A and B are shown apart, each in its own frame.
Chain A
Amino acid sequence: MKDQDLYNYILGIADNSLILGQRLGELCGHGPNLETDIALTNIALDLFGQTRSYYQYAAKIAGDGRTEDDIAMLRNERDYKNVLLVEQPNTHFGHVIARQFLFDVYHLQLMNALQHSEDEILVAIARKGVKEVSYHKRFSGDWLKRLGDGTDESKQKIQEAIDHFWPYTDELFDMTDSDKRMADQGIGVDMTALKDDYYKQISEVLDEATLTVPDNPYSKRGGKQGIHTEHMGYILTELQYMQRTYPNMTW
């Protein structure tokens, strides 16, 4: 493949949205109430919309006859490059909000920076995505503050969730060799430059939510190399079931 780095780079971004969207999709009909149920599945649909644009572009670059659906649905676990954070289970509403917020802050940084890419298609996807992701961050940030500044129980649960996901945040800023080459060419984003701002933004919101910023130097990583947690296999089983059972099935 001529543009292997670009292909890898796009998949790194797209897979985060796909797997997080799948996780949020599990809540469809199971949200805490009608309003948040719809809000979370809206976010899932936003993410799926974005992944379509990425996978269509990736399919064009690959040029080997695979479609966007083939790339999304028919890879093996090791070939998915999403970060570990997005594959973590929903557990309870506090976990859903904490995971979402820790991802949304990063995601908005990425969408903002990607608008200055040398690649026109990535710029177009980012311009569309930035509005959606701004709303995601507003939603998850508002809820984080409500839960933190809410009852004793909600505060304890959201703090536990933030503490739980904290070790997964460092990986968001890891750059693979392809990521680095793309950043050097002005196509990709240099995420290491955004890391300080990320933790600054997170700390500000946690302060406002009367929550404690975790002081945990330990970090978990591996998703970007395709080394996933035990949850990933179960997600893919559900995600891929239809295409694996009825190959080439279409709507």
Chain B
Amino acid sequence: MKKDWPLWEVFVRSKNGLEHRHFGSLHAADAEMALENARDVYTRRNEGVSIWVVESKYITASNPADNGEFFEPAQDKIYRHPTFYDLPDEVKHM
């Protein structure tokens, strides 16, 4: 049965106001079953208020082999980070 089912990625919003986050993946025959499976597999301990599912094949992922050109150029440019400002004490949550 399972070998015929495509893989789905599950995104769960834990609380209103927060973003959906990737929780994991599962197998299901279609979107409706994927939602129900996600409900049972990932939210049975009160983890969420909203679920998104998307079939894994629709996600385009970066190739780990390209990590050099994709990510490394950002590592040595500290001037791209706003770390040179003095934050007033009144500013919270920065």
> Which of A31-39, A175-183, A191-199, A243-251 binds B?
A31-39
Using C-beta atoms within 8 Å of the partner chain, give the interface range for chain A: 10 to 19
| Chain A contact residues, majority secondary structure | helix
List A contacts of B77 (CB < 8 A): none
Question: Which residue of A has the minimal Cβ distance to B41?
Answer: A38
List B contacts of A39 (CB < 8 A): 36-37, 40
List B contacts of A36 (CB < 8 A): 37
Cβ of B18 within 8 Å of any chain A Cβ, yes or no, is no
B39, chain A: closest CB distance, angstroms: 8
Cβ of A173 within 8 Å of any chain B Cβ, yes or no, is no
Cβ of B29 within 8 Å of any chain A Cβ, yes or no, is yes
User: In the bound complex, do residue B29 and residue A146 qualify as a contact, i.e. CB atoms below 8 Å apart?
Assistant: yes
User: In the bound complex, do residue A35 and residue B26 qualify as a contact, i.e. CB atoms below 8 Å apart?
Assistant: yes
Known contacts A35-B41, A42-B44; A139/B36 CB under 8 A: yes
List B contacts of A33 (CB < 8 A): 1-2, 5, 27
List A contacts of B27 (CB < 8 A): 33-35
Cβ of B32 within 8 Å of any chain A Cβ, yes or no, is yes
User: In the bound complex, do residue B26 and residue A32 qualify as a contact, i.e. CB atoms below 8 Å apart?
Assistant: no
B46, chain A: closest CB distance, angstroms: 13
A142 to B40, CA, bound (A): 14
CB within 8 Å of A: which B18-52 residues = 26-29, 32-33, 36-37, 40-41, 44
User: In the bound complex, do residue A42 and residue B2 qualify as a contact, i.e. CB atoms below 8 Å apart?
Assistant: no
One of B2, B5, B36 near A142 (C-beta < 8 A): B36
A98, chain B: closest CB distance, angstroms: 17
Against B, the Cβ 8 Å flags (1 = close, 0 = not) of A154-173 are: 00000000000000000000
A146, chain B: closest CB distance, angstroms: 7
List A contacts of B1 (CB < 8 A): 32-33
A80 to B16, CA, bound (A): 45
Can you offer 23 A-B residue contacts whose CB atoms are under 8 A?
A: A32-B1, A33-B1, A33-B5, A33-B27, A34-B27, A34-B41, A35-B27, A35-B28, A35-B41, A36-B37, A38-B40, A38-B41, A38-B44, A39-B36, A39-B40, A42-B40, A42-B44, A138-B36, A139-B36, A142-B32, A142-B33, A146-B29, A146-B33
Interface residues of B (CB under 8 A from A): 1-2, 5, 26-29, 32-33, 36-37, 40-41, 44
Interface residues of A (CB under 8 A from B): 32-36, 38-39, 42, 138-139, 142, 146
